[in-house]
Amino acid sequence: MSGRFEGKIALITGAGSGIGRGIAMRLASEGARMILVGRTAAKLAETAELMGGIVDCEAADLSSAEANRNVAGQMADRYGHLDILVNCAGIYAAGPSDQIEPTDIEAVLSVNLVGLVDLTRRLVPLLRLGRPSGVVINVSSTLALTPVAGALSYSASKAAVSAVTETLAAEWGPQIRVNTVCPGFVDTPIHRQRGGTPTEVAKFLDQMASRHPMRRIGQPEDVAAAVAYLASDEACWVTGATLVVDGGLRVALR
Ligand code: NAD
């Protein structure tokens, strides 16, 4: 694979598993120098090992302003600039909306929205030094565009990410491009941790696959390919955009 990201520095949040791990591996395979950020040091180390070990890892809870300040400080001290930021860390929550507590909503927003904005704004001085532009890619969801019953906090948080993306794209051009990807249902720990026997989980994944016009659920690599395009100079005139990478789920849910 060609080295579209040779000489580039890329920070990926949520890089310890799932889609974030897939994105980190894809950008590294094309030459990027990676900084992996996530909650759990051991999971980041697993990703680093899969990538050959030559990466920096920062364990940080992105819902904490102090943690975000530390990550941005480390980046400034060690690298002095940042070419690519992928905000992939996120949590999911489901349940009937009439039973939701304000604290449930705050817990999801604190990571998916507030943490994302806080880390991003702290990295802006470094991203402004990215060439030809700094790049920010926010991982949202098809459920931001087509909410379904039972995922109020999650859909609201991801819809807010779309609004944030467009606001920042308008404010920060031409120095920084800001775009969103909206994945459909992707096979990651976020779903496999939902409980049930292996047979029940397999049945659930089959049901989900049948809802996608492409008749399969996504893999982290499917999303990573789209992120690599948005991060690359081929997308140098793309900002404020939403790239839906969902096997057609959005049009099937409408
Ligand atoms: P995942 O659970 O494997 O990955 C989420 C990652 O975010 C984990 O590594 C976790 O440690 C990290 N994280 C969570 N809270 C954090 C915090 N406070 N601080 C730092 N890191 C934190 O799940 P995934 O499916 O790979 O999800 C990645 C992103 O993709 C999420 O934003 C999710 O909402 C989004 N997404 C997933 C799907 C899907 O079907 N899997 C679909 C659409 C969007």
Residue 211 within a domain:
no
Q: State which ligand 1 atom lies nearest to the alpha carbon of 158.
A: 34
Residue 41 within a domain:
yes
Residue 226 maps to which CATH number? Answer: 3.40.50.720
The residue-averaged pLDDT of 135-151 equals 96
Residue 155 in contact with ligand 1 by CB distance below 6 A: no
Residue 192 has pLDDT above 90, yes or no: no
pLDDT band at 2 (very low <50, low <70, confident <90, very high): low
Residue 175 has pLDDT above 60, yes or no: yes
pLDDT digits (tens, 9 = 90+) for 15-47: 999 999 999 999 999 999 999 999 999 999 999
Residue 82 within a domain:
yes
* Ligand 1 centroid from CA 38, angstroms: 9
Residue 36 within a domain:
yes
Residue 72 within a domain:
yes
Instruction: Choose one of 11, 17, 19 to mutate for the ligand 1 pocket test, by most ligand atoms within 8 angstroms of C-beta.
Output: 19
Residue 235 within a domain:
yes
| pLDDT score for 202 | 87
Residue 81 within a domain:
yes
pLDDT digits (tens, 9 = 90+) for 49-78: 999 877 999 999 999 999 999 999 999 999
The boundaries of the domain holding residue 26 are 9-186+219-247
| pLDDT score for 164 | 98
Please tell me the residue having the least CA distance from ligand 1 atom 33. Answer: 90
Residue 19 in contact with ligand 1 by CB distance below 6 A: yes
Query: Catalytic residue at 79?
Result: no
Residue 57 within a domain:
yes
Residue 166 in contact with ligand 1 by CB distance below 6 A: no
Residue 93 in contact with ligand 1 by CB distance below 6 A: no
* Ligand 1 centroid from CA 91, angstroms: 5
| pLDDT score for 52 | 86
Residue 40 in contact with ligand 1 by CB distance below 6 A: yes
The pTM (predicted TM-score) of the whole model is 0.97
Tokens 């060439």 — which residue? Answer: 131
Total number of domains in the chain: 1
Distance of CA 212 to the CA centre of its chain: 21
**Dihedral, CA of residue 164, residue 85, residue 125 and residue 160, to nearest 10:** 10
